[in-house]
Amino acid sequence: MNYAAHAEAAEALVAEIAAAGGRAIAVAADVAEVAAVEAMVGRTETELGPVTILVNNAGVTWQGTLDTYDREQVARMHQVNVDGVIHATRAVMRSMREQRYGRIVNVASIAAIGTALSGNAFYAATKAEVVILTRRFALELGQHGITVNAVAPGFVRTDMTQRGRGAADWPGTEEAFAARAMMGRRTPKGKGSRQRRRSCRRSRSVPIRPTWWRTTRSAAPSCASSSRAGSMSRRPMRCAF
């Protein structure tokens, strides 16, 4: 478990994993720094063995427009959101190649595709680059038994998105985002998938996803549940986040 801040939260998660019967360590590292990432992976492999699963979910955001452009802020976003993916992937790919097995998941964003949120252009650009790198890395590493996929979440309540907002502010934030949505509303929990299924049945079409999003049962193990991961793949799972 990698962290750049909030050591207490990282250690608490390590304790939770250990209590569930797993093994975990917390390692402080700035993914923007090559040496720090290599040291993190080195310690992980020394204490837990070769990494077989990598989740690149480190990220920072900064809102700005062409008028308020800040070169240092944009550069920092790129170093973490893009360079961090490159550094971590390079750090684990050698052992994955040797094992001829590896699963890499990059966390992108729907901002990479396009959203109505103003002041998000430069953040969106970093996530669009993650999408492109995911495709290219999948082509480059696939021949070695390594899959590379990405997920693109929407606006999710996390420490990063909640920064500067109190608990009482969040409902207003959700409503503001709902007002910008194409349909002008939020999808109730669990309803979106049913609506998509009905839509597909009406049109008699099958949703098409790019090949770099497709996974097999063994290609998408769950790091959070060791028992489920074991049922999906016979290989030992060692995750680096």
**For residue 137, how many C-alpha atoms fall within 13 Å in the half-sphere facing its CB?**
26
- Quote the CA–CA distance of 130 and 124 in Å, as a whole number: 10
CA distance 220 to 201: 27
Examine the residue annotation and report whether 69 is marked as an active-site residue of this protein.
no
Rounded to whole angstroms, the Cα distance separating 92 from 183 reads 42
Residue 48 near residue 22 (C-beta atoms within 8 A): no
* CB distance 53 to 103 below 8 Å: yes
Q: Which amino acid appears at position 201 of this protein?
A: R
**Residue 221 corresponds to which amino acid?**
P
Residue among 3, 69, 101, 123 flagged as catalytic:
123
Query: CA–CA separation, 84 vs 63, rounded Å?
Result: 20
What is the SS3 assignment for 54? strand
Closest CA to 78 of 136, 138, 127: 127
Q: Is 71 exposed, middle or buried (0-12, 13-18, 19+ CB in 10 A)?
A: exposed
Bridging pattern class, strands 102-107 and 146-151: parallel
Between strands 27-28 and 146-151, the pairing is unpaired
Looking at the annotation, which residues are catalytic? 123
